[in-house]
Amino acid sequence: MAYESVSGLPQGATLAGSNLSSRGGTQTQTRSASGMGDTWFTVRYSATHARDGRIGIHPYAKVKIATASHSAGLGTGQNDYEAGLGFDARAGYYTFPFAHIGYRLVGKPANSNLQNIATYDFGASYVLPRSQANIITAMFSGSQSEQKGYAGPADLIVAWNHNINPQGSGFQLYFDKGLSNGSASYGIGLGGQIVF
């Protein structure tokens, strides 16, 4: 669950995460909006692990619970469902390249023309040698557009994770630079995760 604050949102437009899912016609006026974002739940299974020269393969499933306000333009007001595969590897002692590819069934509000999309990302994480609890990640993240005829989101993300236990529970600080008209110009965020 996240708290979102956006500026420069076109009048009548709706967000899906930090990306535009609908644009509200051809109006040029913009506005600001703040509030609770959508909530994502992810389940991942490690079919193989990245060790001894092998690639790790991780099927996953995600569900978006529509907790963001549709009337404020912070979400579609509909749940989304995604399934896909994650891959990771080990390059030396401290560097871990990864990639994900998925397919998302997009919840469609009434009178909308949203479409299901393919999602993808790739990048690498680097574990700081003197502190196994600190990890720097750089990645490219993108997807098809939920609206036909528009650019899909494309983002460059840099994140710092600090783990508070060996399982990987901890918090994350990230910076997001949008690379297409389907993405926010930039974003910053603070999050956390609990690993069982």
What's the pLDDT at 28?
67
Q: What is the pLDDT of residues 108-133, one digit of tens each?
A: 988 888 899 999 999 999 999 887 79
Q: Is the model's pTM score more than 0.95?
A: no
Which range has the worst mean pLDDT, 8-12, 40-44, 132-136? 8-12
Of the pLDDT bands very low, low, confident and very high (cuts 50, 70, 90), residue 25 is low
Q: What is the pLDDT of residues 41-82, one digit of tens each?
A: 999 999 998 887 789 999 999 999 999 888 887 888 899 999
Q: How far apart are CA 87 and CA 57, in angstroms?
A: 5
Tell me the percentage of the chain whose pLDDT exceeds 70.
91
What's the pLDDT at 112?
81
What's the pLDDT at 76?
86
CATH numbers and ranges of domains, the chain: 3-193 (2.40.160)
What's the pLDDT at 18?
56
What's the pLDDT at 32?
81
What's the pLDDT at 102?
98
Flag whether pLDDT at 19 surpasses 70: no
Mean pLDDT of the 184-194 span: 86
The residue written with tokens 């051809």 in the block is 26
